[in-house]
Chain A
């Protein structure tokens, strides 16, 4: 019994030792690349100047755009209401929703104050993957963030983020569904547009 267990431990160590450096997580690597790229923009002293704010925003935006699948996010957030929309409506909604999400995301990035990002591995299930990340704050409270990705050719694109177990897309889905069923899709678009032009 004891020997079997020892052997097992050895085997596990062996497998881990070989496998870990080889498969450092394909989707995790993508998240890491994007995060590092964004952080380097945020930390760049040359871009800290207020006059460069627009340029900085644009750079962050392009880094985010590259990794996020806005259409998939919108499709999931609208859920059953997505199929009922015309292609033009879909296109418009994707634009509005991604605008709102980018704003939210950019706002968070702007708040960055040297928190560390700890990568805690990935779980791949076919074409889907979850990358687990922990934001280590100085306030003795770590924030677990899960990125959900989908394989697109050779690339992995994010279609949902959950923070402390709260999925962003699920949250919007509940809101969208509530607004559409209680008033109308047109009203939702109106509210969304108002939200974006608010600032």
Chain B
């Protein structure tokens, strides 16, 4: 597929996302406004102005990792975007995070800046409804029809196809060991693993998959999260990871192999259903154990990504 075609695909995808989904989200928001978790203007105002962004002041592990790469530090999008003084911010951060004295080497997270909280909360609600009204019923039905082994096979197949994404990111992270395992895994699974349906590389050769993506690579380069973005359909992300995601789409062979947009959308939807069928219950667990599911998901995403950057 020529480059122009891919660009057009992504352009259209985003257009669809923003044009169709935003009004729907606000509609859902309006319908739900009388529900149990109303989003008062007071809440919105408080969050928009008072919540400090990533506390890079006190031991943010992502920043520790970024330390040796000083020249790139100016990429930190959160720098200068704070309306409160550095002192005030320091006090706020200190107040929340000094209290539990953690032993050395322990990770503890701060909070991720969320200037778009009202929009994010709307998308969160949209995704929540998408899950319970569409994705879950479809995945549950699919679950009944297709045995688990086959669904794991499909997961393996997609994972094998997207090897270039991980391989390129291994190289970008100068991690040649994982570049080697990814290459080997691809060769072994494509041949002995029946076009990738079986993970022979892991089962027989103990070659573990290296889950690398561009957002993580950028994080390792020292680029901060920016701010939180709860994307429609795609879910939790950040400014940096959204850029990373778009970049990863360019590295994904499916983008070039499937030239028809409807088929491409169908394939991605199928992938999503298959993944959901293997993780049914996970989202319900999160919602059930959380006091504020939106914050819980945001923080889980933040910690998960920080951890990915830390362990490289």
Residues of A that sit less than 8 Å from B by CB: 75-76, 79-80, 82-83, 100-101, 103-104, 107-108, 111, 123, 125-128, 138-141, 148, 162, 164-167, 170-179, 181-182, 188, 191-192, 195
Contact = CB atoms under 8 A, between A and B. Distances in A.
Interface string B192-219: 0000000100100000000000000000
B198 to A, nearest CB: 9
Interface in B52-73: none
By secondary structure, the A interface counts as helix
B273 to A, nearest CB: 15
Interface of B: 42-43, 46-47, 50-51, 95-100, 103-109, 111, 148, 152, 155-156, 199, 202, 278, 281, 285, 288-292, 295-296, 298-300, 303-304, 306-308, 310-311
A165 B152 contact: no
A79 B95 CA distance: 9
Contacts of A188: 291
Nearest to B112: A174
Given A171-B303, A181-B50, A82 B99 contact: yes
Contacts of B50: 181
A182 B291 contact: no
B199 A140 contact: yes
A125 B285 contact: no
A140 B289 contact: no
> Of residues B51, B291, B295, B300, which shows the largest number of chain A Cβ atoms within 10 Å of its Cβ?
B291
A103 B287 CA distance: 13
A162 B310 CA distance: 15
Contacts of A178: 51, 111, 292, 295
A141 B42 CA distance: 42
B299 A170 contact: yes
> Of residues B42, B50, B109, B202, which shows the largest number of chain A Cβ atoms within 10 Å of its Cβ?
B109
A126 B295 contact: no
Contacts of B296: 171, 174-175
A174 B202 contact: no
Contacts of B156: 140
Contacts of B310: 165
A80 B95 contact: yes
Nearest to B111: A174
B96 A191 contact: no
Contacts of A140: 152, 155-156, 199, 202
A140 B295 CA distance: 29
Contact of B292 (A83, A101, A170, A175): A175
Given A128-B103, A140-B156, A181 B46 contact: yes
A174 B299 contact: yes
Nearest to A100: B289
